[in-house]
């Protein structure tokens, strides 16, 4: 099994012999055990087939009961080194395991998390808040230290003040939140330094060692810096601040290059200093709850998988919209554009998960193998299958919204697309001929990220005359709304109650806020925790990255070399009309148009 190492997860052990109490105080452990059991079930089952299966065991956490497979040994229940849950085979069904007996509380090791680029936007907005949320949930190890590293001059106290401004409490768990924030901030420190200075990283190393206090030291570096300084920082971190006796891992933020060549060069440079298994390429969309749920929806429900092919699906749409512009990130954005910023990574990753074949197991490598196969079966995107746009200034309600080129860090004559729509195809037996449409844009009329699965018409539909002439409106559509207001809903035709026979479009609706009371964790929380645990399922492997770039590099080159002028659209609008022509060419319509009232 790929490293499901939970050895770093500290969940305070309870002295109470009551397992219920112990479970209650170990919600983090329980959540992760749930995950591990889910992820490892196939492997365990296979192991059982090799041995004589003995009795199944139930682990209860009050709310739910999960069945886990018995382990070889008769010893106490514990998480094994490889992350597998080992439970005594003699435990009776329905009997619960005392979570306090799980060996989660590693006294002898410590994790140091260094946020490189700690003074920046992402660190403040996402990384520190996610680390605090993990701390609040009891998901960080007992011994941990967080270091901010950047060139800005700051004291520990100043870093804490900066960080404290962005920490928030969970809506559903405010208890002791202020106290926890103070405790968390006490564990945050700052070291100023240059990104290319071995000397400064050696100083950091010295400080880390003081905090690690002789324990097995595991170190996680989060590179929250612009890509042009990735390699300098990796070189210094690996040479001068690697752990001597534990693991050293590096989370790398996108963009991973600008095209196939620069991405390959970046990978080569990273691999001069790190092994592939030390590199965690983050795509935070993979950490989003509904993206994680895609596989569950497909592979644990009988009703979807049989329909998941060209036979029943007419088109699949991946839609990303933001109702604000580049806002201070114009300098970065102008060098990349929306295709590299959103499509080549976030939307393509969702597509790969959506379209992949059933993996052999839920192990990271099995899943990533299937994703790569999808990407490698796709046709590189052609210029005629892309529409680009750029937002222009617009005044509404007396407010003037800026054009993209009003950003001082963007050249006045920039042709960088802030919007793009594209039609992609997977040339394999399952998806031959099905258009996979993507649309992504900034400064549009709303904010959303969703997957829309449009099904084919019902052949010989008995109710055609009740539906009217627009058969397209009567096709079923499954919507996986990633954000905001997470939901999964299925549009169906339904009889309007009454004596007549009138049909309307209704939704079978799973609205998360109505169904689940627990706040949905931010994607960065899940990904940071996974990186600490060595779980690689949600990170991008280098061959996935190569395959992704191969699809987009030719068209990006064409757009740039031919200086294709984007279609201008007003700030706050629905984007270029050209995107509708693109969809129409493949005989489909964008499902999001007029969808505001859907759920
Ligand atoms: N912000 C976001 O929403 C997202 C960001 N990302 C990626 O995450 C990474 C960090 O993003 P973000 O925080 O916005 O970046 P910033 O531009 O805020 O940069 C982070 C820090 O890096 C240092 N820095 C900035 N420019 C330079 C430079 N030219 N040379 C040396 N140091 C520099 C600065 O720290 P100091 O001057 O103190 O050294 C700055 O505070 C980037 O790779 C970005 O693409 C990915 C997804 C979303
Ligand atoms: O990676 C990026 O993502 C954000 C959108 O992330 P979300 O989680 O808020 O949907 C986007 O604004 C940014 O341009 C891009 O670099």
599 residues of the chain, pLDDT tens digit each: 333 232 333 333 333 333 333 333 456 665 666 565 555 432 332 222 222 233 333 343 333 334 444 444 444 455 554 444 555 443 333 344 444 444 444 568 999 999 999 999 999 999 999 999 999 989 999 999 999 999 999 999 999 999 999 998 876 666 788 899 999 999 999 999 999 999 999 999 999 999 999 999 999 999 999 999 999 999 999 999 999 999 999 999 999 999 999 999 999 999 999 999 999 999 999 999 999 999 999 999 999 999 999 999 999 999 999 999 998 889 999 999 999 999 999 999 999 999 999 999 999 999 999 999 999 999 999 999 999 999 999 999 999 999 999 999 999 999 999 999 999 999 999 999 999 999 999 999 999 999 999 999 998 888 888 776 666 778 999 999 999 999 999 999 999 999 998 888 899 999 999 999 888 999 999 999 999 999 999 999 999 999 999 999 999 999 999 999 999 999 999 999 999 999 999 999 999 987 766 76
Q: Is the pTM of this model over 0.90?
A: no
**Which ligand is nearest to the Cα of residue 118, counting in written order?**
1
Question: Which residue's CA is the nearest one to ligand 1's atom 39?
Answer: 151
Nearest Cα neighbor of 598 from 504, 520, 466 is 504
3-class DSSP state of 238: helix
Say how far apart CA 278 and CA 274 lie, in whole Å: 6
Structure tokens at 307: 């329909």
Question: Which residue's CA is the nearest one to ligand 2's atom 10?
Answer: 449
Q: Among positive and negative, which fits the CA dihedral 363, 365, 368, 374?
A: negative
418 C-alpha to ligand 2 centroid (Å): 13
**Which ligand is nearest to the Cα of residue 447, counting in written order?**
2
Residue ranges of alpha helices (H) inside 396-517 are 464-467, 512-515
Q: Which of 115, 153, 224, 231 to mutate to test the pocket of ligand 1 (most atoms within 8 A of CB)?
A: 224
439 C-alpha to ligand 2 centroid (Å): 14
Which pLDDT belongs to residue 47?
Answer: 25
Which pLDDT belongs to residue 58?
Answer: 38
Nearest Cα neighbor of 277 from 542, 549, 548, 545 is 542
Which pLDDT belongs to residue 329?
Answer: 87
283 C-alpha to ligand 2 centroid (Å): 10
Report yes or no: 333 and 468 within 8 Å, Cβ to Cβ. no
Structure tokens at 218: 């595991």
Which residues lie closer than 8 Å to 296 by C-beta, 6 or more apart? none
Instruction: List all residues whose CB is within 6 A of at least one atom of ligand 2.
Output: 284, 322, 341, 449
Q: CA angle, 526 as apex, 522 and 530 as ends, to 5°? A: 160
Which pLDDT belongs to residue 283?
Answer: 97
Q: Which of 341, 444, 521 to mutate to test the pocket of ligand 2 (most atoms within 8 A of CB)?
A: 341
Which pLDDT belongs to residue 535?
Answer: 93
Q: Provide ipTM, 2 decimals.
A: 0.98
Which pLDDT belongs to residue 115?
Answer: 98
Instruction: List all residues whose CB is within 6 A of at least one atom of ligand 1.
Output: 117, 119-123, 150-152, 195, 224-227, 229, 253-255, 332
Which pLDDT belongs to residue 89?
Answer: 44
Report yes or no: 404 and 414 within 8 Å, Cβ to Cβ. yes
96, HSE (Cβ side, Cα atoms, 13 Å)? 17
Output phi, psi for 30, to 5 deg: -60, -45
Atom of ligand 1 nearest to the CA of 284: 47
350 C-alpha to ligand 2 centroid (Å): 14
Q: How many CB atoms lie within 10 A of CB 382?
A: 14
Residue whose tokens read 């580049």: 326
Nearest Cα neighbor of 61 from 94, 19, 121 is 19
Atom of ligand 2 nearest to the CA of 329: 14
First to last CA, the chain: 41
Q: What is the CA radius of gyration of the chain?
A: 25
3-class DSSP state of 220: strand
Structure tokens at 36: 């591990």
Atom of ligand 2 nearest to the CA of 322: 12
Which pLDDT belongs to residue 463?
Answer: 86
Report yes or no: 433 and 425 within 8 Å, Cβ to Cβ. yes
76 C-alpha to ligand 2 centroid (Å): 45
Which residues are known to be catalytic? 346
224 C-alpha to ligand 1 centroid (Å): 6
- Identify the DSSP state of 461: -
Helices (H) and strands (E) counted in the chain, each on its own, are 19, 22
């Amino acid at each position: 099994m790929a490293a499901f190492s939970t050895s770093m997860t500290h969940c305070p052990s309870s002295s109470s012999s009551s397992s219920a109490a112990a479970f209650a105080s170990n919600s983090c452990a329980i959540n992760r055990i749930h995950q591990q059991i889910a992820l490892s079930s196939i492997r365990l089952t296979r192991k059982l087939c090799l041995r004589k299966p003995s009795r199944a065991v139930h682990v209860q956490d009050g709310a739910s009961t999960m069945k886990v497979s018995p382990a070889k040994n008769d010893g106490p229940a514990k998480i094994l080194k490889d992350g597998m849950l080992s439970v005594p085979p003699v435990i009776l069904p329905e009997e619960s395991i005392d979570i306090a007996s799980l060996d989660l509380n590693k006294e002898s090791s410590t994790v140091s998390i260094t946020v490189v680029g700690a003074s920046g936007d992402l660190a403040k907005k996402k990384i520190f808040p996610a680390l605090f949320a993990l701390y609040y949930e009891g998901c960080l190890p007992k011994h941990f230290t967080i270091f901010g590293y950047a060139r800005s001059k700051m004291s520990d106290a100043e870093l804490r003040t900066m960080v404290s401004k962005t920490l928030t409490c969970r809506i559903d768990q405010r208890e002791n939140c202020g106290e926890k924030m103070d405790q968390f901030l006490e564990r945050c420190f700052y070291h100023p330094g240059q990104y290319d200075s071995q000397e400064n990283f050696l100083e950091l190393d010295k400080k880390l060692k003081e905090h690690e206090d002789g324990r097995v030291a595991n170190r996680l570096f989060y590179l929250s810096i612009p890509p042009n300084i990735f390699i300098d920082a990796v070189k210094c971190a690996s040479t001068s601040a690697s752990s001597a006796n534990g693991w050293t891992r590096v989370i790398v933020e996108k963009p991973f290059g600008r095209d196939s060549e620069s991405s390959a060069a970046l990978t080569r440079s990273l691999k001069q200093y790190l092994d592939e298994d030390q590199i965690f390429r983050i795509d935070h969309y993979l950490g989003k709850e509904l993206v994680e749920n895609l596989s569950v929806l497909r592979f644990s429900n009988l009703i979807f998988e049989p329909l998941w092919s060209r036979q029943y699906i007419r088109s699949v749409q991946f839609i990303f919209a933001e109702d604000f512009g580049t806002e201070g990130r114009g300098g970065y954005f102008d060098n990349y554009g929306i295709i590299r910023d959103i499509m080549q990574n976030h939307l393509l990753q969702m597509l790969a998960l959506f379209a992949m074949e059933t993996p052999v197991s839920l192990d990271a490598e099995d899943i990533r193998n299937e994703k790569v196969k999808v990407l490698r079966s796709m046709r590189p995107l052609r210029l005629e299958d892309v529409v680009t746009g750029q937002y222009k200034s617009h005044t509404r309600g007396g407010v003037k919204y800026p054009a993209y080129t009003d950003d001082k860090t963007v050249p006045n004559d920039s042709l960088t697309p802030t919007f793009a729509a594209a039609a992609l195809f997977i040339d394999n037996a399952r998806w031959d001929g099905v258009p996979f449409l993507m649309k992504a844009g900034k400064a549009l009329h709303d904010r959303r990220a969703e997957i829309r699965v449009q099904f084919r018409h019902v052949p010989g539909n008995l109710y055609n005359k009740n539906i009217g002439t627009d058969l397209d409106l009567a096709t079923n559509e499954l919507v996986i709304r990633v954000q905001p207001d997470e939901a999964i809903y299925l549009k169906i035709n339904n009889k309007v109650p009454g004596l007549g026979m009138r049909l309307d479009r209704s939704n079978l609706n799973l609205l998360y806020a109505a169904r689940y009371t627990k706040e949905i964790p931010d994607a960065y929380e899940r990904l940071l925790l996974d990186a600490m645990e060595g779980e690689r399922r949600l990170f991008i492997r280098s061959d996935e990255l190569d395959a992704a770039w191969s699809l987009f590099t030719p068209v990006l080159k064409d757009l740039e070399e031919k200086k294709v002028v984007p279609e201008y659209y007003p700030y706050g609008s629905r984007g270029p009309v050209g995107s509708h022509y693109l969809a129409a060419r493949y005989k489909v319509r964008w499902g999001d148009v007029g969808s505001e009232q859907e759920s």
